[in-house]
Amino acid sequence: MSLIVLDSSVIAEYVNVSGRLNAQASVIFDSLEKGELTAIMSPTSLSEVFYVVSRLYVTCRVEKPNEKAFSLCDYLYYHPSIEAADMPLSLIVEAGRIKYTFKLALTDCYVLALSKLRKCRAAFRHREVEMRKILDKLNEEFQIVFLEDYGT
């Protein structure tokens, strides 16, 4: 079974059914549902899912956006194919080292740190501006996949 660390952007894309990369995110979630893939999420990513999805639901005028965002986080946290990672010192320090070295968003640093410590790929929606500038260096140290690379 394959293992992957999910960034919150992948989940947000999956929830946004009209998103440009929803089909690619759906492939990941279909694999999770079938038990063909196991995902790991950092606590910071789960927090960001709540924030981003709440905002998405407000924009879409969904009733009780925070309650629905909580339900999504609850679903992810207890999903049998998704592991909510602990926050050991090794993860905290590795995320800090990545932040210091690469100057990325802290949540992205935790995704990359988890992928390095667990020796698996990190999945992001797309290459953010700060990643594009240093992608060669990131690829030397991490296994990264982007939904945008898998057709639309």
CA distance 95 to 101: 10
**Is it the case that residue 112 has pLDDT exceeding 90?**
yes
Q: Under DSSP, is residue 2 helix (H, G, I), strand (E, B) or coil?
A: strand
pLDDT of residue 152: 57
Q: What is the pLDDT of residue 68?
A: 96
Percent helix, strand and coil across the chain, each to the nearest 5? 60, 15, 25
Is the pLDDT at 9 greater than 60, yes or no? yes
Please give the pLDDT value at position 151. 72
Structure confidence by residue, pLDDT tens digits, 119-152: 999 999 999 999 999 999 999 999 999 999 997 5
Q: Do 14 and 52 meet the contact criterion of CB atoms below 8 Å apart?
A: no
For 102, phi then psi, to 5°, come to -110, -10
pLDDT in tens, 88-110: 999 999 999 999 999 999 999 99
Across the range 1-21, mean pLDDT stands at 93
How is the chain split into domains, by residue range? 2-149
Give domain 2-149's CATH number out of 3.90.550.10, 3.40.50.2020, 3.40.50.1010, 3.40.50.300: 3.40.50.1010
